[in-house]
Amino acid sequence: MGLLAFLKTQFVLHLLVGFVFVVSGLVINFVQLCTLALWPVSKQLYRRLNCRLAYSLWSQLVMLLEWWSCTECTLFTDQATVERFGKEHAVIILNHNFEIDFLCGWTMCERFGVLGSSKVLAKKELLYVPLIGWTWYFLEIVFCKRKWEEDRDTVIEGLKRLSDYPEYMWFLLYCEGTRFTETKHRVSMEVAAAKGLPVLKYHLLPRTKGFTTAVKCLRGTVAAVYDVTLNFRGNKNPSLLGILYGKKYEADMCVRRQMLRVTPWDDALQEMYNQKGMFPGEQFKPARRPWTLLNFLSWATILLSPLFSFVLGVFASGSPLLILTFLGFVGAASFGVRRLIGVTEIEKGSSYGNQEFKKKE
Q: Are residues 234 and 325 in the same domain?
A: no
Task: Give the pLDDT of residue 342.
Answer: 64
In contact, 127 and 137? CB cutoff 8 Å: yes
Given 222, 257, 287, the domain boundary residue is 287
The phi, psi pair for 122, rounded to 5°, reads -110, 150
Q: Quick check: is 86 in a domain? A: yes
**Which residues form the domain of 264?**
3-287
Over the chain, what is the mean pLDDT? 87
CATH number reported for the structural domain that contains residue 12 in this entry: 3.40.1130
Task: Give the pLDDT of residue 361.
Answer: 45
pLDDT at 92 over 70: yes
Q: Are residues 259 and 326 in the same domain?
A: no
Q: Kindly report the number of other CB atoms within 10 A of residue 168's CB atom.
A: 17
pLDDT at 37 over 90: yes
Q: Quick check: is 349 in a domain? A: no
Q: Are residues 242 and 332 in the same domain?
A: no
Q: Quick check: is 55 in a domain? A: yes
Given 287, 311, 335, the domain boundary residue is 287
Task: Give the pLDDT of residue 343.
Answer: 61
Q: Quick check: is 356 in a domain? A: no
Could you give the number of structural domains in the chain? Answer: 2
Q: Quick check: is 296 in a domain? A: no
Q: Are residues 225 and 316 in the same domain?
A: no
Given 222, 256, 287, the domain boundary residue is 287
Q: Quick check: is 361 in a domain? A: no
Q: Are residues 187 and 315 in the same domain?
A: no
Q: Quick check: is 107 in a domain? A: yes
Q: Are residues 266 and 338 in the same domain?
A: no
Q: Are residues 167 and 248 in the same domain?
A: yes
Q: Are residues 119 and 246 in the same domain?
A: yes
Q: Are residues 86 and 167 in the same domain?
A: yes
Rounded to an integer, the average pLDDT of 277-301 is 94
pLDDT at 283 over 50: yes
Instruction: Identify the band that residue 73 occupies on the pLDDT scale cut at 50, 70 and 90.
Output: very high
Q: Kindly report the number of other CB atoms within 10 A of residue 290's CB atom.
A: 11
Task: Give the pLDDT of residue 321.
Answer: 87
Which range (32-41, 294-303, 310-319) has the least confidence?
310-319
Which range (185-199, 224-238, 347-361) has the least confidence?
347-361
297-299-305-308 Cα dihedral, nearest 10 degrees: -90
Q: Quick check: is 266 in a domain? A: yes
Task: Give the pLDDT of residue 162.
Answer: 93
Q: Are residues 83 and 155 in the same domain?
A: yes
Q: Are residues 223 and 325 in the same domain?
A: no
- pLDDT, greater one: 275 or 338: 275
Q: Are residues 313 and 200 in the same domain?
A: no
